[in-house]
Amino acid sequence: MFRKQGSEPERSPLPVRAVSAASDLARRSVGMTRDTVHKELLERAKSQEAMSDEQIWRRYQFRHLAAFVTIPALLLGTASIATAYGTGLLTSDPKPAACEPVVVLAPAPGSFKVKVLNSSGVNGAGQVVGRDLSRRGFVVGDVSTAPRGLYVKAPARIYHGKAGLDQALLVAQTIAGSELEYDGRAGTGVALVIGADFTTMLPAPPPKPPEQKSYTVNVYNATWRAGLAKTALSELTARGFSPGKQGNDPDKSFLPNDVAVIRHGPEADLAAEQVARHIKGAVLSEVPRDNMIIDVVIGNKFETVTPLAQMPKKQVTRKDPPHTVSRPCK
């Protein structure tokens, strides 16, 4: 039959007999459950009446002991499992092993060039760092002020290319807190930028004396006696120094009370000390020059270059262990 649109569908009512049967079944189930529980309680009471006081007390103690052992064990087990999950012991995805840096022999300090840029805002910091690097055997190619837009907060930042990683790591060992930055430059040379937090260089062993062939010695005469400069320079050349110029002093010095004055720049102080050992009584004088040229200016009290028999014993060249660097994990 059709019904009107929107009206509720007609439901056929359950037979009264079916409803009555279902109600009787529910009542019988409840009654059976009550009877079963009542019967079990009666049996438990009878069994307890048949037990002695000592048996009842033992049962009571056993139940308390079981609760005392079981509940803390459950709590402890739950806490242990939670701790294991928290520390990653029970995770299905274990953490990978930590990467260990690779320690390799470092390149020789004199095998590449270091450019020094001062971004610290402190005048002269670049010269100080450049001089210290030279004393440690590095080849300092240039020392200048960093471009205006280059600011470094760290004590130092060392720029390097693909072939200059080990070189940058070696230079970083001279200043605590140095940062490394790859800039794709070619070759093994690096650029060290002194930052705002720079204070001082890290300690290093005493610098080794330079090779006598690594610098030039000029000898000038500031006396009225002719030929002293030529004779002195010939003797120094025979002892392994690289000869330079000879003649009258271009600065026209007047040294009536000096044996000799040895002029040198800041970078050549160790070389000047080395030359002074061969002229007893000579004094050192630092002048503003940025090269490794030494001037020996002979004074009125000069007699001759110190004879070899009177020279102090030659210093034993210190043998330092090879430098190493730790390449970072990739």
Residue 235 lies in a domain: yes
Q: What is the mean pLDDT of residues 36-57?
A: 58
Ordered alpha helix ranges (H), 173-322: 228-238, 269-276
* Residue 280 or residue 41, greater confidence: 280
Residue 147 lies in a domain: yes
The tens digit of pLDDT for each residue in 263-297 reads: 999 889 999 999 999 999 999 999 999 889 999 99
* Residues 111 and 55 reside in one and the same domain: no
* Cα(175)–Cα(70) distance, integer angstroms: 62
The tens digit of pLDDT for each residue in 152-189 reads: 999 999 999 999 999 999 999 999 999 999 999 999 99
Residue 20 lies in a domain: no
Q: Which residues pair with 180 in a beta bridge?
A: 158
Residue 174 lies in a domain: yes
Q: What is the mean pLDDT of residues 117-144?
A: 93
Integer CA distances (angstroms), 330 to 62, 95, 102, 163, 169, in order: 63, 17, 10, 16, 15
- Interacting residues of 295 by C-beta distance below 8 A, sequence separation 6+: 218, 219, 220, 262, 263, 264
Q: How confident is the model at residue 208 (pLDDT cuts 50, 70, 90)?
A: confident
Q: How confident is the model at residue 314 (pLDDT cuts 50, 70, 90)?
A: confident
* Residue 30 or residue 226, greater confidence: 226
* Residues 265 and 185 reside in one and the same domain: no
Give me the domain span that covers residue 188: 103-194
Q: What is the pLDDT of residue 231?
A: 96
DSSP state of 278: T
Residue 154 lies in a domain: yes
Q: What is the mean pLDDT of residues 91-101?
A: 70
Q: What is the pLDDT of residue 1?
A: 40
94 CB neighbour count, 10 Å cutoff: 8
* Residues 83 and 169 reside in one and the same domain: no
Q: What is the pLDDT of residue 173?
A: 97
* Residues 47 and 107 reside in one and the same domain: no
* Residue 12 or residue 95, greater confidence: 95
Residue 202 lies in a domain: no
Residue 12 lies in a domain: no
Amino acid making up residue 176 = A
Q: What is the pLDDT of residue 48?
A: 54
CATH at residue 164: 3.30.70.2390
Q: What is the pLDDT of residue 251?
A: 93
| pLDDT of 192 above 90 | yes
* Residues 180 and 244 reside in one and the same domain: no
Report whether 173 contacts 129 (CB < 8 A). Answer: no
* Residues 107 and 179 reside in one and the same domain: yes
* Residues 74 and 159 reside in one and the same domain: no
Please give the helix or strand (H or E) that residue 297 lies within, else none: strand 293-298
243 CB neighbour count, 10 Å cutoff: 14
- Interacting residues of 16 by C-beta distance below 8 A, sequence separation 6+: none
Domains of the chain: total: 3
Q: The whole model's pTM is what?
A: 0.59
| pLDDT of 19 above 50 | no
* Residues 156 and 111 reside in one and the same domain: yes
Q: What is the pLDDT of residue 46?
A: 57
Which of 41-45, 53-57, 131-135 holds the top average pLDDT?
131-135
Residue 325 lies in a domain: no
Q: How confident is the model at residue 18 (pLDDT cuts 50, 70, 90)?
A: very low
Residue closest to 193 by CA, chosen among 207, 183, 203, 184 = 183
* Residues 218 and 302 reside in one and the same domain: yes
Q: What is the pLDDT of residue 45?
A: 55
Angle ∠(251,253,257) on CA atoms, nearest 5? 160
